[in-house]
Each structure stands twice: as structure tokens, then as C-alpha cells.
Structure 1
């Protein structure tokens, strides 16, 4: 089997670009190519990739977590097939087929082959769902415990029953071609999600108590129309103050690794001020204003702050992380880090599937829209406010892309 990969856009190479292509032949190279398709190594995931043209150019791709309950698999399979086809058509390309990857590590006492057999009904249901939409699944792989298995290939010489070994990270021909093409892998999905997960003890208890107090004190003012604008202003001023604090510490301490940097940021935030800001950013107006910190030094400081605050959404306040995860995903997408953006936005939608802001950003990111359209709209909104403060008439026209208009 020979497939080609160009630009890491959801719909393949963009018009007018001439990025190097990566040719992939056979199941082993497809398994090795998976992290380069997404930009990270997925875990506990279903991954579907659309194929276009006679040479099987990689197109749109979808990733979601594997549902824990097998009785949910048929509905999820049907929905994924519809979404993959719909996203491809929205980008102007009709998919001629699909690739399927099921990724899950063995539980205690399990082997990779046990995982493969347990997920076989899910693979079959996904193949049927895609085939019903004229997207035959040309290869379906299970990736587990450092090995891969094919659900499609009956030839034991290339796809043995005990599975084929995955290449060491960075050691395969696919990896070499990806490096030449400028495609990089950010690490594992688990590592990226760890930067966004709630903190444990000893910080969890004091933080949850601080959130209780902040919610009781702030929510009445946020709901009262006369107080709302002042509450938004206080929230944004505090956010700016904390961004500057994190930025000053970063400049003084050099460039530590991710885990060290996150621990440093956690130590710089007190429970009370973090709680005040978390509650304040539940307000849609405050969130939308905060989203304007999307460029230059503002973007780097804001991203660190949103991640740190998401980690502070502990205990009963887990859903309070959704605006913060959405803001982090927006900055990452705006900055060109689509893999990290998808992880943050997926986590937001797993927590609250109906959160409109995350839905719209996730869809725009997956459909390959240019984030400059939204950045331009936000700059115009900022200019409108400045004119209002100066008493000038409103003359700036809003022209946000339609897909990105929406509420909470």
C-alpha cells in the first residue's frame, strides 16, 4: 500500500504550497506514520484519516477517545464516519477511502494482542460505517504495547498474528522523511494532557476552598447587570498582573523544561487570586476580551496562565476549566501549534460537549481555516472599544468568519 502525505493540513496540501511529500508503504510504515499525522502519539484513541485521489493522499483526520462502554461503539462509529466525510466535503474534497487506527495500552495483566481482540468489534463497526458512506477503510490497525496488528491484512508474512514491532521513535524511514519535510512530533497525548490536568494534594484542598469562597463572593456581582462591566474589568486587570508575574519569572530563570516550567508557574499563583480569576473568566465577556491576548509576548504569557489556571480547577470545579482550556486551545491554534490546540479543545469538549466556544474553535481548527480571520475580528473589536472610550462614532465593521460566531 502506498500513501502520500503533504502539508499537515486537515485536507492535505494547501493551494499554492509545495511542501515535500512523505510516501508510506505498507502497514508497518502506516503505524510508524501515525504520530506524524497528528503531531503527537495518541493514547486510548480512535483515529480516522481520509484518503483522496488515486495515490491515497492523506486528508482530514479525526481523533476521539475510545468509549469505555462497548454499547456506545455503534453510535460513535456512525457519527465519526459522518463527521470525517462532512469535514472533507466542507474543505472541497471528496474522500475516496479512509484509514483507521485504534490506540490503547494494555491494562494490568493484559497483552497487546488481548487489546487488539477486545477492540476488534469496534474496528469492524467503524469499517462498516465508513463503507456505508462510500469511504472504504483500506487499512485498520490496532497499536498497543509497542506493536501493531492489522484488522484487514490476512498475510502473516507482513502482518503476523503476534503483531509487528513499531520502530523506535525517530528511527524509521517515515521519521527521517518527516524531519526533512519539517513535520515534528510534540510527544505523547498523555504528556500533553498532563499539563492541563487538575493538581493533586497538597494544593487541591486549599484551592477548592478558595474556589468556594470566590464563587460565593463574585457570582452575585457577575449576574447583576449594573456590576458586570466592573467585574469584567477587575478580572482582566488581575489576569494582566498574573501574566506579568509569570513573564518576569521566566525571564529571570531561563528556559526550563515543560514540567519544571509548569511547576514554577503553579508555585507563583496563590489559591485566592487563582480562584478569583477562574470564577471571573466564566463570564463570556471577560473570556472574549481575554482571547484578544493572542499575539506576541501577550500570547506566550496568556497561554502559561490559562494552563496554570486549568490545573487549578479541582474537585467540584472541574467544569470551570472549560473556558480556560478553550482559551489555551485558541492561542495554540493561533500560534500554529495545531496538535496542542486539538488536545486542549478536545479536553474542553470532553468536559462540556455543548460549550459553543470550544466547538467552534475545534471545528475551525479541524477544517483548516486561517486563524488570522478571527484575529482580525478581535483587533477590530478592540478598536471599537477604544473609539467608544474616546467618544468617537463606531466605524469599524465586524466581519468574523461565520463558523466562529457564537456564544458560550
Structure 2
């Protein structure tokens, strides 16, 4: 599902429409060559989707209004009940695993003994123009419902969140009023699917407002302050259960964005030189295998270098450390070498255990080196990063990396297949099994390639 005002769609648990049937190699246009779409192994074995958080206490919900409805969210034995709009607003980052910015979020509810139990959820950036709001609302609502039905559970109710920070000179209340037509459109769209919206909240400037409740006692006109992060009952339960909230999507995407400081010029020169040397060899059947072995051997050495580096806390310091461990010429050689699909598929075999952590760090670092005119080349390392993240259980980073890969090259079929499979809640083990078999059938690896 693409967004009208973003180059990369970033749905949560939503369906992804087709983006075309061909995948390009990522080589410069004059140097395209045929290749495989990616490893096989996708199967629709339909795991359930969406984390369901927790419940505590057992008071029955009061019947008179959304502010008094209980929402069950469970994680095995740990359970918490959300009874008010304030608790629902505080829960949003834990439902998604991050703090959404400039977002429409839909959360499906399933009835269980009179309680709304959280199901799938989907996110889309708020379109820049109001003319696009009806289309966005239709895409998001129908995508979430279709995906839920495919997994055998149709939502019975829906909760809507609109998240946008105030602009210069603007108040949160003004944001709430400006987005009210969007909230109404979403409610009508869900209603047309016979799924009522039982609560719609605007979150802005550290406060929230309800579009469904006009009771000044619980939803005052000036808004209600959000609780301090990490202080709610749900926050405590989520921490106990190991659920992580990792800042914002912007902070996560920054790990994959190309350099924009002076060093990018030198990196682009290194990419130009590597392209002159490697592209003819990749397109030559006699030397293509030799380039693949050189690429994988170099990647293996750098992964060992990364794995041996002292640990660093924080995403930005860790990424800066990894950047310092990767030379310009090394990065250029790997980026060009990974444009060959067979080489990329072999690199995808570093997907579990200690190999996976080092590989993910390398793919992030290579994506950051796809600077200037080489933006399309980022599709390969971004897809590999998304695959490793999904394989190791980090669906949030996987979806973002794969969406960014499709932003770099909308026709990159391996990224599209992985993105759709991840969003549909399929089990990555089927792909891992296929890659393990290919690795075993091939026999011993190159001397510097991790085994």
C-alpha cells in the first residue's frame, strides 16, 4: 500500500497491492541483465497477525460509551485492560512498537465476552492534500479488513488514531479540528464495511482529543495530556513482557538513509570507479562467478570485522562505529557486486545466529553508502536488511527496510515478495529452509565467507 505523500509506503499489517511483475538488477540502465527473482519458499500458511497486548483486573465494561469500554490486549499470561480513551492513547506506541508520526493508524477489534480484543493494525502517512484523504481511508480500511479476513477473523469494530504534530504557530487543538474531516471519512469508510469505529483519537502536541466523545468530564475541549512515557500500567506490562518501543519511524529509517555530508562525494566517486571495473565483469558470463566469489569473500571479512568491534549503546553511535569500519572502496565493491541476483541470494543465507547480526549491520551500512546517483542500487542491501530483520523476528525494521527498497526500485520483485509476506504474517521459516538447502547443496563456502 503506497502513500500519497511518501515515496515509500509504510503500512503496518496491511495488504500490499501489486507493483509490477519484473525486477531489475539495480545496475545502471544500460547494463541491465536477466536474473532470478529471489529464493523460493514463500507459502501461505497464515500465522495470526498483530501483537495483542495485555489485561489486568476483571471488572465488566460499562455499556455507556467508548470511554468506558474495556479493550483486552493479551500476551500469553500477562494481561491488561484499557478502559478509557487516555489509556487507549497511551497504548498506541505499544500496539505498534514505535511512536507514530504524521500517521493514520487503524486497529481492529474482535469481540470476546463483551470486550474489544485487539487484532491487526495498519498505518499510513497522512496525505498532504485533502483530496487524497478518501482514497487513503479506503485503502487502509479495506486493506486491513481484507488481510484480517484472509486470516479467518473479520474485525467487528475499529479504533482510529490520527497522529500529527502541530506546525509553526499551530496548536494541537487546531490540528484536531483540521483533521476532523479525515476522521469522519475514516468512520464512514469503515461503516460502509459494516465495521463501526468505536473510538477515533487525535494525538498532537502531547495531548489527545476524541472525535467520538463530547463528555467534558473525560474528553475536554482543550485536550487531555498524554501520560509520561513508560509510566502507564501497560508500559510496565509491556516492559515485563519484553515488548520494545523504539522511538519513531524517522529514527528507524535514518539507519538506512544515504549519507548527505561531504564524505558522500568521495563515496560516489568510489562507486563510479567500482562500476567501471565490475559491471563489465558481472555482465560477462565467464567472469560473473568470479565476481560473486570476490564479493561474498569481502562481505565475509567485513562481517567478521564488525562482529569483533566493541559494543556501543544507541542506534546512531552504533551506526557511526560501523561506518568507520567500512572503507569507501570496500562499500562500492559490495554495492556493485550485490546487484547480481545470484550473489544477492547467496548473501541472503546469512540470516540466523551470529551471522545475522553482523550481516544486518553490514546491509544497513551499505544502504547508507548508496549516495547521489546510486540511490536505486540501495534496493539490494535494503532488501537483504529487511530479510534478515524479518528472519530474526523484527517485523517493524523488516517492513521499513523493504518499503524503502521498493522506494528505491518499485520493480524489485524480491523486496515486493518479502514485503507482502511479512505484512501478511507468513512464517519466514519456509524461506530460511529453502536457503539452507541451497547452501548445503552448494557445499563448502569460500575461505572468507562465514560458514
Q: TM-score range by the shorter chain?
A: 0.7 to 0.9
Q: How does 1:3-402 map to 2 (within 5 A)?
A: 3-7=71-75, 18-54=76-112, 55-248=115-308, 250=309, 253-386=310-443
Decide whether aligned partners of structure 1 residues 301 and 160 sit closer, same or farther in structure 2, where only a CA change above 3 A counts.
same
| Deviations 1:288-338, CA, capped at 9 Å, x for gaps | 111110111110110110111111122222222222222112211211222
Structure 1 distance, partners of 2:374, 2:187, is 39
Structure 1 distance, partners of 2:445, 2:239, is 49
Unaligned runs of 5+ in 1: 8-17, 390-408
Structure 1 distance, partners of 2:311, 2:135, is 49
| Greater relative CO, 1 or 2 (CA 8 Å, sep 6+) | 2
| Deviations 1:148-180, CA, capped at 9 Å, x for gaps | 122222222212222111111101122123223
The aligned counterpart of 2:70 is 2
Structure 2 distance, partners of 1:243, 1:369, is 28
Structure 1 distance, partners of 2:130, 2:411, is 23
Higher helix share: 1
Structure 1 distance, partners of 2:284, 2:187, is 52
Decide whether aligned partners of structure 1 residues 352 and 388 sit closer, same or farther in structure 2, where only a CA change above 3 A counts.
closer
Decide whether aligned partners of structure 1 residues 354 and 257 sit closer, same or farther in structure 2, where only a CA change above 3 A counts.
same
For this pair of structures, how many residues does the alignment match? 376
Does the CA-based 8 Å contact 2:377-2:408 persist in structure 1?
Answer: no
Secondary structure of the residue aligned to 2:443 is: helix
Unaligned runs of 5+ in 2: 1-68, 447-451
Structure 1 distance, partners of 2:219, 2:406, is 36
The aligned counterpart of 2:8 is none
Structure 2 distance, partners of 1:352, 1:125, is 32
Cα distance, 1:107 vs. partner? 2.3
Does the CA-based 8 Å contact 1:60-1:366 persist in structure 2?
Answer: no
Runs of 4+ in structure 1 over 4 Å off: none
Does the CA-based 8 Å contact 2:80-2:233 persist in structure 1?
Answer: no
TM-score normalised by length of structure 1: 0.86
The aligned counterpart of 2:58 is none
Decide whether aligned partners of structure 1 residues 300 and 4 sit closer, same or farther in structure 2, where only a CA change above 3 A counts.
same
TM-score normalised by length of structure 2: 0.78
Decide whether aligned partners of structure 1 residues 239 and 345 sit closer, same or farther in structure 2, where only a CA change above 3 A counts.
same
